[in-house]
Chains A and B, each alone.
Chain A
Amino acid sequence: MNYLEFLLMRPEISLLSIFVIIFLFDLMATGRYRRIFHGIVCLLMLAHTYICMTGSAEEITLFGGMYYNNPMLSFMKAMLTCGSILVILQANRWLRSASTYYKQGEFYILMLSTLIGMYFMLSARHFLLLFIGIELASLPLACLVAFDKYRHHSAEAGIKYILSSMFSSAVMLYGISFLYGSCGTLYFSDMATILSGSPIHIFALVMFFAGLGFKISLVPFHLWTADSYQGAPTVVTAYLSVISKGAAVFTLFIVLTKVFANMIVEWQAIIYILTIASITIANLFAIKQHDIKRFMAFSSISQAGYIMLAVINGTAHGMTAMVFYILVYIVANLAVFGVIESIEHQCTDGVKREDFNGFYRSNPRLAFLMTLALFSLAGIPPFAGFFSKFFVFMSAFDAGFMILVFIALINTVISLYYYLLIVKAMFINQNDNPIKPIKCDLFTRISLTFCLLGIVFLGICSFVYINIDKLSF
């Protein structure tokens, strides 16, 4: 075995070294050095993103085909890292509060280990590495969900998350074991040539879907979503809803096209049903939610359904649409969660929809940002969300799923209704004691600014989409 191959895994190696640096810093730093901890982490992550982006210009296959990296995967990894930086920036106020200050380092470490897990999920070309990646991504996340030790909501959310995660990974492994039994290999490339669509393969495919469907929170596997999103600390909810979901969607796309390429008819049928179910059911449930984090949970389930419209295409165009959709989804959703995070400490029992009444009078800027983000999530034209939805619909249309696109379009109207309910609360509803004016700290401001720029410019600047299109495979 050639140990020099480890050095070629540039994104993983650089993330791992950041991991070690943060660990040592957390162990040794005292007093005034601790105060700049947050800034140091952000800078390190920024440097890491640079390494990710510039890293590999060519394709790399390592360890006898177990690990694979190419420019597109590097781009996806960089995207996930950028999203994590935005989340970390927003976490500043929460990490400085008295109940979390002493475990600040643990938060970064757990977050980075989930990120490494997601990298392995993307780069895996062998089911063992894929399984380890998925577990590495979901176990520390359970710890993060249960991070507020003395709030019982957090513990309850954590136990719901970890038990559903274990259940779904067991179901997925059961599927993989039958794939192994019928193919005699676990490498993606070898398996793809053997799979033929016999009943046992279809059984394994369905089982496999359960594992990643759980992480993406598609409808039959979504039951944990609302509770975990509501109970988790807001920063972690933001992380769960964009980064964890994005990585899982990428992985699902890669596995479906690389391993199950011969069974395209079967998995398209599965996605067809799941998409309709996710979008419709999540939209109907979202309307009646009052807790805003629960509301965002159902909104994120329906967004996952829209992403599936790109996955169902299964070609390079589908991949472009998917990556672009997730990019836009990251900035828009993180903007919403940034606003929720900054007003959260003024609401005693979670942020409710009614708390936004009269928000525009007291915090015009945050209200404006929130409006743009919600417009983008709903897909109103000048903003990025419109373009991403458009490309996703186009890719499903190209694959010949007209009825599916039609149903998704109708659902867009429903989603517009519930997103606008919040906008209405902010601008029109009267309130005698609205949320007091908030002064965000510097980090949150930077994060929200980047989200705003993303929402406004990602759609208009067409070179983003074109560049992604050049990379996709």
Chain B
Amino acid sequence: MIIPAEYYLVLSAVLFFIGVFGFFTRRNLVSLLISTELMLNAVDINFAVFNAYCYDHLEGYIFTLFGIGIAAAETAVAIAIIINVYRNMKTIHIKNLRELKD
């Protein structure tokens, strides 16, 4: 039995909006990072599913691979900056990131 494509799309939509929700409600920089990762992974699922169910070329899979790679690069940079924030402020809680204000 083949799982219908819609199930995967619902899964990716749910993942994506969990990510969006997390991005706006979480108060810790690492959690924010995880939320954006969830969103990017939802996109990867979308591409793979569309390719697997609808088309017989490889464009979607290739896009997924690049998406994973670039997401990893983004995470690396973000983690580096978060470590820098921690070194400067001794916390990564978002309520302490209020220095820049008029």
Contact = CB atoms under 8 A, between A and B. Distances in A.
Interface of A: 127-128, 131-132, 135, 139, 142-143, 146, 149-153, 155-160, 162-163, 165-167, 169-171, 173-174, 177-178, 180-181, 184-186, 226-227, 230-231, 288-291, 294
B18 interface: no
Contacts of B89: 152, 155-156
Contacts, number: 120
Name which of B43, B47, B81, B102 has the most chain A CB atoms within 10 A of its CB. Answer: B81
Contacts of A150: 88
A71 to B, nearest CB: 30
By secondary structure, the A interface counts as: helix
5 contacts: A143-B80, A166-B33, A173-B67, A180-B50, A180-B63
A186 B36 contact: no
Interface string B78-93: 1011101101110000
B97 interface: yes
Contacts of B82: 159
A132 B16 CA distance: 21
Contacts of B39: 167, 170-171, 174
Given A156-B100, A167-B39, A289-B102, A139 B81 contact: no
A184 B59 CA distance: 9
B40 A173 contact: yes
A230 B40 contact: no
Given A142-B77, A162-B74, A174 B16 contact: yes
B100 A230 contact: yes
B102 A177 contact: no
B102 A166 contact: no
Contacts of A171: 39
Interface residues of B, number: 39
Nearest to B89: A152
Contacts of A226: 100
Nearest to B59: A186
A181 B46 contact: yes
Interface string B28-63: 010011001001101100110010001100011011
B86 to A, nearest CB: 9
Most chain A CB within 10 A, of B40, B47, B102, is at B102
Contact of A159 (B54, B59, B63, B78): B78
Contacts of A165: 74
A70 B16 CA distance: 38
Contact of B70 (A131, A181, A288): A131
B99 A177 contact: no
A272 B82 CA distance: 37
Nearest to A158: B81
A181 B36 contact: no
B66 interface: yes
Q: Which 9 A-B pairs have the closest CB atoms?
A: A152-B88, A170-B39, A177-B46, A181-B50, A166-B36, A173-B43, A227-B100, A155-B84, A158-B81
B29 to A, nearest CB: 6
A170 B36 contact: yes
Contacts of A185: 59
Contact of A166 (B63, B74, B100): B74
B73 A128 contact: no
A209 B84 CA distance: 31
Given A128-B62, A131-B70, A166-B74, A177 B97 contact: no
A163 B36 contact: yes
Contact of B99 (A131, A142, A152, A184): A152
Nearest to B62: A128
A343 B23 CA distance: 38
